[in-house]
Amino acid sequence: MDIILLGAPGAGKGTQAKVLEEHTGLVHVASGDLFRAALRQGTELGMLAKSYMDRGALVPDEVVIRMIIERISRPDCSSGVLFDGFPRTSDQARALEHELAAYGRRIDVVIYLKVPDAVLLRRIAGRQTCKTCGSTYNMYYFPSKRLDVCDECGGRLYQRSDDTMETARHRLEVYFAQTMPLIAYFREQGSLLEIDGQQEISLVTDTMIRGLSGVATRHR
Ligand code: AP5
Ligand code: MG
Ligand code: ZN
């Protein structure tokens, strides 16, 4: 299966991807994480992406598409991918469909995590991420046991540089203008699975997994 996790900044894509990855055995491919990794390695791609990310703007389509096509051409992606944060524009969606078709695959399900705007901003403002293992916490909803230290691995927690209120607001505007239209597009194709992302994390996971098994039954 190839699955897309679609939703606004802060909707819980990364959080749910971690669980779904284990449940489905699919490989988690997150465009934002790939850019942040490139930046840590000091590559040209990382520097270029940073100049857009810090403004809350989208990295140009051709750059993102090239990076994702390269990533999914690797052997670990051959039996299916869990896409997080990609596609985000209609050109990206078409490019992905085209690329998957070349492998005889298609987008099987698009999980749309629906969350009200006010909640999104609070989630973004409170997010802390572990430098070592990538686990996420939230200062408002579920803080780590020790301040700035990861419960899982003892790593340092940091706040993403694009998680300031001003940049987060702009990321939401960009999402409404450029990514929201994809919801109607996938709904028309019949691949959209709408999930109430405002529930507690484990309830979101349960709803998602139940929805996915419904889809798998229909495919049989
Ligand atoms: P990206 O890294 O993809 O960020 P995003 O889409 O803005 O999404 P986030 O990672 O902020 O949110 P999330 O949905 O993963 O939420 P999370 O699970 O962490 O992109 C960053 C930038 O990279 C973009 O702005 C752009 O510049 C560039 N980029 C990336 N992809 C691109 C593309 N395809 N094209 C062009 N440019 C691209 O959860 C958030 C917080 O809420 C956490 O603290 C979490 O613990 C908490 N939380 C999660 N679920 C719940 C819940 N149910 N209840 C309470 N709290 C919860
Ligand atoms: Mg994320
Ligand atoms: Zn950690």
Q: Using CA atoms, how far apart are residues 75 and 173, in angstroms rounded to an integer?
A: 36
Does 167 sit in the ligand 1 pocket, CB within 6 Å? no
For CA atoms 34, 201, 22, 69, the dihedral sign is negative
Beta bridge partners of 109: 3
Q: Is the peptide bond before 143 cis (omega within 30 degrees of 0)?
A: no
C-alpha 117 to ligand 2 mean position (Å): 16
pLDDT at residue 74 is higher than 80: yes
> What is the per-residue pLDDT for 215?
80
| Pair 157, 129: CB distance under 8 Å | yes
Domain ranges of the chain: 2-115+191-218
pTM for the whole structure: 0.96
pLDDT of 219 higher than 70: no
What is the DSSP annotation of 181-214?
A: HHHHHHHHHT-EEEEETTS-HHHHHHHHHHHHHH
**Alpha-carbon gap, residue 164 to 94, rounded angstroms:** 32
- Ligand 1 proximity of 29 Cβ (cutoff 6 Å): no
Q: Would you say residue 148 has pLDDT above 90?
A: yes
For the stretch 149-207, pLDDT in tens is: 999 999 999 999 999 999 999 999 999 999 999 999 999 999 999 999 999 999 999 99
Q: Is 213 exposed, middle or buried (0-12, 13-18, 19+ CB in 10 A)?
A: exposed
| Cα–Cα distance, 151 to 132 (Å, whole number) | 11
With a pLDDT cut of 70, the percent of the chain lying above it is 98
Atom of ligand 1 nearest to the CA of 197: 53
Closest to 157 (Cα-Cα) out of 174, 176, 137, 172: 137
Q: 83 — phi, psi (to 5°)?
A: -85, 135
Ligand 1 pocket, residue 85 CB under 6 Å: yes
Dist. CA 169 → ligand 3 center (Å): 28
Higher pLDDT, residue 216 or 103: 103
What per-residue confidence (pLDDT) applies to 220? 59
- Residues with a catalytic annotation lie at 13, 88, 127, 160, 171
- Share above pLDDT 90 across residues of the chain, in percent, rounded to a whole number: 94
Residue 20: strand, helix, or coil: helix
Mutate to test the pocket of ligand 1, among 4, 5, 6, 15 (most ligand atoms within 8 A of CB): 15
CA torsion, ordered 139, 50, 71, 44, to nearest 10 deg: -140
pLDDT of residue 205: 97
CATH code at 2-115+191-218: 3.40.50.300
Ligand 1 pocket, residue 205 CB under 6 Å:
no
80-127 pLDDT per residue, tens:
999 999 999 999 999 999 999 999 999 999 999 999 988 999 999 999
